[in-house]
Amino acid sequence: MKNVLSIAGSDPSGGAGIQADLKTMCAMGVYGMTVITAVTVQNTRAVLGVREIEPSVVAGQIEAVFDDIRVDAVKVGMVSSAEIIAAIRDCLTRFRARNIVVDPVMVSKSGYAILREDAALALRALVAMADVVTPNIPEAEMLCGFPVKTEDDMRAAAEAIAAMGAKNVLVKGGHFAGEEAGDLLLADGGFSFLRAPRVKTKNTHGTGCTLSSAIASRLARGDDASAAVRAAKAYITRAIRDAYDVGAGAGPVGHMAELYRRAGMEV
């Protein structure tokens, strides 16, 4: 059994953050562990508030895990301050963490600013450590500093983010309109578009958290970056298709729908 650590925020509604990460890791056949960076007040409709965890407590959680358990991959999600980012970067460097996936969460689906303005530059230093970084279009724009409107722009953004130090970059194209959900992967110096039919549903809460956790899980199990991203893309496409209509807003994706089916449950 491989062990994967999620460093991210908590979502009480269960669709995003560490809750989504743990469900994804179970579905991907790895042992999930968590370091909580923030407690959010949110549901399927909106993020209503955030309480950050003290950087020393974030660091302490990371140290406690690495001191005791082999960590085969790390997923980093919600990190809202420069101080927390510095604590994470220091710990991951000190423990020589491997298979690091960074999901640069900056703004929630409902428009809540997750990342403080003073943390943007610090986040780039964390991106530089990543084996895979997974920005969506708005996040790619904030990282690279120019608009991303076309597939050529996606290529330019991926190159700009790779120039920060990230080994592989997945620019997610879900914010573009169209019948396909197309993501651009820059891996091993080459570009490839990963396309899938767009699933028409409002229930997409936690898709970014889920995808990045799936990538980390596959890296832990021995996939290279390209294979890990492709397997994770297939997983999130199925999970969106199996999304749950929970709550009045954007419901969660079906993280464990395949496991439920095997147990004889209807989903």
- pLDDT, residue 199, reads 86
Give the span between the Cα atoms of 232 and 54, in whole angstroms: 32
Indicate which residue of 34, 77, 109, 209 is catalytic.
209
Instruction: Report the Cα 145 to chain-centroid distance in Å.
Output: 21
pLDDT category at 110 given cuts 50, 70, 90 is: low
Q: 190: helix, coil or strand?
A: strand
Mean pLDDT, residues 95-109 taken together: 90
Indicate which residue of 24, 34, 134, 204 is catalytic.
204
Indicate which residue of 15, 32, 173, 208 is catalytic.
208
Give the span between the Cα atoms of 28 and 32, in whole angstroms: 10
pLDDT digits (tens, 9 = 90+) for 207-226: 999 999 999 999 999 999 99
Is 232 inside a domain boundary?
yes
- pLDDT, residue 73, reads 99
pTM of the predicted protein model = 0.95
Active site residue 75: no
Amino acid letter for position 244: Y
Is 29 inside a domain boundary?
yes
Indicate which residue of 9, 172, 251, 254 is catalytic.
172
84 pLDDT higher than 60: yes
Active site residue 172: yes
Active site residue 23: no
Active site residue 204: yes
Active site residue 209: yes
| Candidate ranges 178-187, 195-204, 233-242; pick with highest mean pLDDT | 233-242
Active site residue 9: no
Is 24 inside a domain boundary?
yes
pLDDT digits (tens, 9 = 90+) for 152-196: 999 999 999 999 999 999 999 876 656 666 899 999 889 999 987
Mean pLDDT, residues 228-253 taken together: 94
Is 148 inside a domain boundary?
yes
Burial class (CB in 10 A: 0-12, 13-18, 19+), 110: middle
pLDDT digits (tens, 9 = 90+) for 143-159: 999 999 999 999 999 99
Indicate which residue of 206, 210, 233, 251 is catalytic.
206
User: Residue length, the chain?
Assistant: 267
Tokens representing 13 are 């509604």
Is 116 inside a domain boundary?
yes
Quote the domain boundaries for residue 88. 3-262
Helices (H) and strands (E) in the chain, counts: 9, 9
Indicate which residue of 207, 237, 251, 254 is catalytic.
207
pLDDT digits (tens, 9 = 90+) for 6-23: 999 999 999 999 999 999
Is 248 inside a domain boundary?
yes
121 pLDDT higher than 70: yes
Is 172 inside a domain boundary?
yes
The CATH number covering residue 138 comes to 3.40.1190.20
Total domains in the fold of the chain: 1
Is 267 inside a domain boundary?
no
